[in-house]
């Protein structure tokens, strides 16, 4: 989080529009942090988007004339999205995904590792660790100001009130034995 993933998605989508390409943007229906029908970055920049709950719903909504498909928070979607994205790419459509590659535990998140493996291009952005100022490669979930427990649910929608960018050294996940990992 806080690395500029959505900002980069928006930048690429706007460039496709400037090139007069037909663009559609999708976001997970569960992500209503800033706006229900817009992909919005933490700094308030946004673009109209269709909220959807599954890869099947995205497939049903993509118009035949669309040449560029943007999907924000791709980690929240089911594995069926991998097949769709691959099919679209084979048909010459450009697909731009933004999402977290790891969850709050520091483990691979949803279909993102597969996307990273099959993509023609991967841009991995890093935030800045709020503890030490180094590159942050982890998302620290906080519950009432305390690091989350390993067995907490993987998906919990939130922003700065629930998450911080952390480097590997300062990322903490509590386990049942109360030790940190």
Q: Which residues pair with 163 in a beta bridge?
A: 141
Q: State the Cα angle at 34 between 28 and 40, rounded to 5°.
A: 75
Tell me if 47 is assigned to some domain. yes
Task: Report residue 179's pLDDT band, with 50, 70 and 90 as the boundaries.
Answer: low
pTM of the model: 0.88
Mean pLDDT of 110-134: 95
- How far apart CA 157 and CA 19 sit, in angstroms, is 34
Task: Report residue 159's pLDDT band, with 50, 70 and 90 as the boundaries.
Answer: low
The parent domain of residue 141 ranges over 127-166
> 76 pLDDT exceeds 70?
yes
Q: Do 22 and 83 belong together in one domain?
A: yes
Residue 169 has what pLDDT? 97
> 41 pLDDT exceeds 80?
no
Concatenated DSSP letters of 69-106:
EEESSGGGS-THHHHHHHHHHHTT-EEEE---SB-TTS
Q: Do 75 and 136 belong together in one domain?
A: no
Told to judge if 121 belongs to the known catalytic residues of this protein, a careful annotator would answer: no
Annotated catalytic residue within 7, 56, 63, 73: 73
Q: Do 135 and 106 belong together in one domain?
A: no
Q: Do 33 and 114 belong together in one domain?
A: yes
Residue 65 has what pLDDT? 97
Q: Looking at residue 45, which CATH number applies to its domain?
A: 3.40.50.300
For the chain, how many structural domains are there in total?
Answer: 2
């Amino acid at each position: 989080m806080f690395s500029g993933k959505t900002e980069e998605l928006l930048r690429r989508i706007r460039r496709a529009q400037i090139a007069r390409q037909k663009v559609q943007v999708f976001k997970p229906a569960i992500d209503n942090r800033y706006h229900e029908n817009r992909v919005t970055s933490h700094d308030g920049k946004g673009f109209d988007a269709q909220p959807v709950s599954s890869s099947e719903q995205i497939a049903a909504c993509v118009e035949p004339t669309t040449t560029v498909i943007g999907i924000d928070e791709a980690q929240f979607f089911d594995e069926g999205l991998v097949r769709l994205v691959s099919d679209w790419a084979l048909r010459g459509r450009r697909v731009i995904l933004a999402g977290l590659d790891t969850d709050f535990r520091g483990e691979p998140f949803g279909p993102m590792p597969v996307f990273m493996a099959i993509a023609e291009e991967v841009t991995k952005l890093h935030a800045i660790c709020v503890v030490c100022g180094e590159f942050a490669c982890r998302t620290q979930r906080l519950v009432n100001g305390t690091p989350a427990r390993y067995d907490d649910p993987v998906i919990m929608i939130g922003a700065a009130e629930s998450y911080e960018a952390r480097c590997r050294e300062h990322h903490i996940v509590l386990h049942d034995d109360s030790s940190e990992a």
